[in-house]
Structure 1
Amino acid sequence: MTQTMGHANLADKIGQELPYLRRYARALTGNQQTGDTYAAATLEAILADRSLFDSAQSAKVALFKAFNQIWVSSGAPVDHTDGEGDGSPEARAQWRLAGLTKHSREVLLLHAIEGLTIDQVAEVIGASKDEAAELLTIARTEMAKAVTGRILVIEDEAIIAMDIMAIVEQMGHRVTGNARTRDAAIKLARKDPPDMILADIQLADKSSGIDAVAHILKEQGDIPVVFITAFPERLLTGERPEPAFLITKPYSEEQVCSAVSQAMFFASTQTLST
């Protein structure tokens, strides 16, 4: 009975944090399917060896630490090749990623997007607090020099839209405009095709930001997208096509910068400047 309750308690703890592990894994890989594969591998490893999930830690730290062991053991799939490979979106993304300091992206995502303290980040990646802090500083510097391009903002709240546009413009991107509805977003994308889309889920006329993005991608091809939502767990189930990049309202400036920079690394267009 005690063992059964133990399994149930473990499952409950993991279940609460699993959506956020999916978000982290998808951001690292730039792909929903690949990210979810790593998340599934983490769960399988924990089931095979429950000691990987240290109950003395917070559930989130324990789960992310177990994931990191899988991630590192697989070689954190970055193809360290010369040049831009075969010219495919994946090859260009991996080529850019190969130029970043090892483990800096992990630290940035864990801290900026997942909200872990530097102490917790250090525990997850198996480093000292000072080493983790240094990697965070390096990551911020490297991301500031990252790919830039044209960004379409889809947000129905004027104040939030202005804030987001100001953040991405300070990063060196050009905002093509802001749309408050699905139809306006499609029209604006046709007028000035974006390199990336930053979209809210619920729009002014009750239309869907997801529908707007899906229509734009159907017309213009694969464009990196960052979604903003107050309910991230609803888009992190793994049960259907879902975004690889997702930030939560209320957001911080660092979260927006991190998510946009990560998404830009996986941009498929060749019009971006580096």
Structure 2
Amino acid sequence: MNAVSPSELLRVLPQARRFARAITGEQPSGDALVAEALRSPLPELPARLALYAAIVRAAPKRDHAKDALTSRQRQLLLLMALEDLSSDEAALVLGIDSNLALAEADAARATLRTVTATDVLVIEDEPIIAMDVQRLVEACGHRVVGVAASEADAVRIAAASPPGLILADINLGRGGDGSVAVSRILQTLKVPVIFVTAYPERLLTSEGIEPAFIISKPFEPLALAIATYQAVTAGRSPLA
């Protein structure tokens, strides 16, 4: 049994909650997955890796013939792209050989390039950052239906061209708050949301409703690719 101290667990808990939500596609089920993982003895790994491994072990296996990625491939990319683990660390978490982890990750990256695209609304007030995000979104195969620099712009664009995904910054400067814009849009549309922020810990406070998908700035194209795939599929297999 891993003798991880309570203080160590508390320190890595926000990262573990982010990982679990990205697996399941929503806050309640992700947090329930973390709670289930904590009820069992943790493996003999450093605190952060041990908690990730316990989450993987507790996560339901939902592989389906119509899935573009297997559960293990999803988990690998989430660990490496969103959680910034090395391939060796991800292999330890999943309990597989490092060479197999690399091969699976390469296959998953290739598959992501062929995944069906969706329409994306980008909410970002910094023009240069917005252009970069749009470029990355389009490089992932998605279509940008609009770039909003304010709450009002975001609501207007979403009403005119309903997106299949929203990619939103939080601080829009004089344009308001990205989370408020998203809340207004979600009153009339049911659409997955990814928040992009330089301060992800501010969105993982255990207070009120928190986002299921968070990418830390600056981010790599792969992080965006796997996050959009998970958000669009809600971390679940398609219906038969």
TM-score, length-normalised on structure 1?
0.80
- 1:186–1:96: structure 2 CA closer, same or farther, 3 Å change rule? farther
- Equivalent residue letter for 2:184: H
**Which of 213, 219, 230 does residue 182 from structure 2 map onto?**
213
**Which of 13, 22, 38 does residue 18 from structure 1 map onto?**
13
Residue deviations 1:62-97 (CA, integer Å, cap 9, x gap): 2212222222xxx42x274xxxxxxxxxxxxxx854
Aligned to 2:133: 164
- 1:20–1:157: structure 2 CA closer, same or farther, 3 Å change rule? same
**Cα distance in structure 2, aligned partners of 1:264 and 1:145:** 14
Aligned to 1:92: none
The alignment covers a number of residue pairs equal to: 234
Conserved? CA contact 2:17–2:34, under 8 Å: yes
**Cα distance in structure 2, aligned partners of 1:100 and 1:255:** 15
Q: Any stretches of 5+ residues in structure 2 without a counterpart?
A: 236-240
Conserved? CA contact 1:101–1:138, under 8 Å: no
**Which of 29, 37, 54 does residue 32 from structure 2 map onto?**
37
- Equivalent residue letter for 2:11: Q
Conserved? CA contact 2:49–2:93, under 8 Å: yes
Give 1:179 shift.
0.8
Percentage of matched positions with identical amino acids: 40
Give 1:185 shift.
0.7
Q: Any stretches of 5+ residues in structure 1 without a counterpart?
A: 1-6, 81-94, 268-274
TM-score, length-normalised on structure 2?
0.91
Aligned to 2:79: 110
Give 1:266 shift.
2.5
1:191 aligns with 2:160: yes
**Cα distance in structure 1, aligned partners of 2:221 and 2:131:** 13
Secondary structure, aligned partner of 2:174 = coil
List aligned pairs for 1:1-274, cutoff 5 A.
10-45=5-40, 49=41, 52-54=42-44, 57-71=45-59, 75-76=60-61, 78=62, 80=64, 96-97=66-67, 99-205=68-174, 207-220=176-189, 222-266=190-234
Structure 1 or 2, whichever has the larger Rg, is 1
Residue deviations 1:106-136 (CA, integer Å, cap 9, x gap): 0000000001111101100000001101111
Where is the helix percentage greater, Structure 1 or Structure 2? 1
- Equivalent residue letter for 2:158: A
**Cα distance in structure 2, aligned partners of 1:149 and 1:183:** 23
